[in-house]
Structure 1
Amino acid sequence: MSDQPFYKRTVFILFISVSFILGIWYFYPNYLEWTDSKNISYLEKPWYLTNMDNLELPNEVIENSNKEKIGGKYGTYGDSYGSLNTLFTGLAFAGLIISIILQGRELKATRKEMNDQKEVMREQKIESEKQNKILENQHQLIQKQFDESKKQAFLNQYYALLDQRQKILGSLVITKLDGSKLEGNEVIAEYVKGFRSLREQFDTDIHDDEYMNLAWDRLSKKLHKSYDYQLVSYFKFYRMFFSLIQKNDALSDSEKTLYINILKNFISVEEQLLLMWLGCFKKAYNILCCKYSLLSDIYNANLEPIGLKFYKVEAFGNSKTWKQAFEKNKKTEA
């Protein structure tokens, strides 16, 4: 019994108690009658018949006297049942108290179960957050590995393009009238000579972008005996190279700046002069020079009119000489 829950023990005790009381209620009168019949062996005779020991009383008298005697006793017994009513009332009240206690215990058990469920849910939430954190870390790791692979692919392409640039430069060829050939940087130097002659004759009032374009075409036809676009294709390679760096999302801004500066260091002064010439009549090269300050290493008094007419100051980077020239020109125009 001690192993049973509290409410089961209580119900069992109540059942035994009620059964016991009902048993008393049912058998109590019979018990009293049986006890009374044992104790009453004779009826007390009236005083006037005390000397009449041998007198036989009528059965009716004996029966009436016996009932009167027993009735008096049973009246007292009947009054004793009032205590049983009080007992039952007390038991009912006790049952109510026990019911309240049981309900309180059940509520307490329910609250404990709910608290346990909350604790389990809290632990599950913590575990879920840990799992999410692990998944997030895995995602970041995978993303980092992916970015690193993209960056490595970019570096491979970057250095491959640098090698390709050198090959394209080496493929530049001009055959002179005497049969000799100019190759690579010699071709660029020959165009620079033409640009030097051009800028010495340049007049900002009468010359424009069309004039610069015709001058380029005349020089190309003179050197190659026809219109040749080898050099234009070579500088187009730079446009593609800068675009590759700028649009690569695997690089941070600082990394992009680093690789752009590395590439700018490969551009010689002679190449900067030709980029300046091309930018006078080709908008794409003009934008390229201004965006990446590709003309920062060149300055000459003969270059000022061309630079001021066709370019913005951004094309010359941090050159103090060019900044002063633009400021002076601005004051003159004002």
Structure 2
Amino acid sequence: MKNRNWVFWFIGIGSLIFMGVVLYENYTYATALDKDHQGLFGDMFGASNALFTGLSFTGVIIAILLQRQELKLQRNELELTREEMKLTRNEFETQNETLIKQQFENTFFQMISMYRDNTEKVSGTIDGKATEGKDLFYKFHKHLIIRFQTFMKDRFNSIEENKLLEGDFYTNIKKENTKFTIAELTKIYYLRSKVVEDELIKYFSTITIILKLVDDSNIKDKFFYISILKSHFTKYETAIIFYQTLSQDPYSTFRKLIDKYRIVDDLDVKLIINTNHFVNYKQKQFMNDFNRQSDQFLSASNS
């Protein structure tokens, strides 16, 4: 770029020098002539005005070319400025995302710490025995299983046909388990959960707050943070959360968040009476996910 400018300057300065030399030589030559020949020379020299006009036009072209080069340089500088502004904006967005993520993680891990503290402090009396901490969920789950089986046994023995055949409940337990409905489960769960109701309310409220924190955030890897929360659950906690989920209204905040983030996907089905309950739950969860994704797709298409 600079080399090309020097060419223009060289041509321009060379043209000026050339015109100056021509004028000087003509002037020197004219003054040396006598008066009769000076007039004739003047007429002849007037024809050389075309040369000077051409040189002047060359100067104008050179000026335009130089101005064009300057404008091109300015455009390049503007492009560089725009690129720098874009990089600065990207850097600012990255810093902003990092700051938002740090703020979220600070709150999230504080909530996880609160969850651990609350879980360690839960206490209650189950079947006449005091229990606390995560052991409460094991004891409460065991208590529920006994109550479920007692209910099914009483129902089995109340049928006259079973009495006539001297049917034994425990020899038919697998078949009876499949007859145990979700409505029966949730009714018994609701009644029996009253023995530790206050503790469970605090426990499930904490889980709901953490799930809502993740759900309301703008972070990308939401399921990563959900997996951190789930890693703190024992298998008995997951079973109790499953029972609580079944007992909730499908449109409740707790139920929707549990479904959305697949909190009970890792449930050990050996811990529940009727495995069909989990199968039915997963089918409904799949349909809810499908409907939610369809709504999101339609909203994006309309916008």
Q: What TM-score do you get using the length of structure 2 for normalisation? A: 0.63
Q: 1:115 Cα deviation (Å)?
A: 1.3
Find the counterpart in structure 1 of residue 199 from structure 2.
230
Out of 43, 46, 53, the position equivalent to 1:91 is: 43
Q: 1:314 Cα deviation (Å)?
A: 6.3
Find the counterpart in structure 2 of residue 196 from structure 1.
145
- Spell out, residue by residue over 1:208-230, the C-alpha distance to the aligned partner (whole angstroms, 9 max, x if none): 44x44432331133x25xxx343
Q: 1:277 Cα deviation (Å)?
A: 0.6
Q: Report SS of the residue matched to 1:312.
A: helix
Find the counterpart in structure 2 of residue 279 from structure 1.
245
- Spell out, residue by residue over 1:259-293, the C-alpha distance to the aligned partner (whole angstroms, 9 max, x if none): 32222211110111111111212124544444333
Q: d(CA) in 2 for partners of 1:109 and 1:270?
A: 92
- Spell out, residue by residue over 1:151-210, the C-alpha distance to the aligned partner (whole angstroms, 9 max, x if none): 2222222221111001221332324686x632222332233124323554387768444x
1:159 equivalent in alignment to 2:114:
no
Q: d(CA) in 1 for partners of 2:147 and 2:125?
A: 22
Find the counterpart in structure 1 of residue 80 from structure 2.
130
- Spell out, residue by residue over 1:230-266, the C-alpha distance to the aligned partner (whole angstroms, 9 max, x if none): 31331232233234334433x443xx34332222211
Out of 175, 189, 205, the position equivalent to 1:216 is: 189
Q: Report SS of the residue matched to 2:266.
A: coil
Q: d(CA) in 2 for partners of 1:140 and 1:280?
A: 46
1:240 equivalent in alignment to 2:209:
yes
Seen in structure 2, the aligned counterparts of structure 1 residues 191 and 177 have a Cα distance that, compared at 3 Å, is: closer
Question: Which segments of 5 or more consecutive residues in structure 1 lack a partner in the other structure?
Answer: 26-83, 316-334
Out of 280, 295, 298, the position equivalent to 2:265 is: 295
Find the counterpart in structure 2 of residue 318 from structure 1.
none
Aligned length: 242
Question: Which segments of 5 or more consecutive residues in structure 2 lack a partner in the other structure?
Answer: 1-14, 153-175, 287-303
Q: 1:5 Cα deviation (Å)?
A: 6.3
Between the two structures, name the one with larger relative contact order (CA 8 Å, sep ≥ 6): 2
- Spell out, residue by residue over 1:58-98, the C-alpha distance to the aligned partner (whole angstroms, 9 max, x if none): xxxxxxxxxxxxxxxxxxxxxxxxxx8xx58x936x534x2
Q: What TM-score do you get using the length of structure 1 for normalisation? A: 0.58
Q: d(CA) in 2 for partners of 1:185 and 1:280?
A: 21
Find the counterpart in structure 1 of residue 131 from structure 2.
182
Correspondences of 1:1-334 after superposition (within 5 Å): 24=36, 87=40, 91=43, 95-96=46-47, 98-175=48-125, 181-197=130-146, 199-200=148-149, 201=152, 207-209=181-183, 211-221=184-194, 223=195, 228-249=197-218, 251-253=219-221, 256-282=222-248, 283=250, 284=252, 285-293=254-262, 294-300=264-270, 302-312=273-283
Q: d(CA) in 2 for partners of 1:264 and 1:292?
A: 10
What is the percent sequence identity of the aligned residues?
15
Larger radius of gyration: 1
Question: Which has a greater percent of helix?
Answer: 2
Q: d(CA) in 1 for partners of 2:180 and 2:234?
A: 30
Q: d(CA) in 1 for partners of 2:192 and 2:185?
A: 11
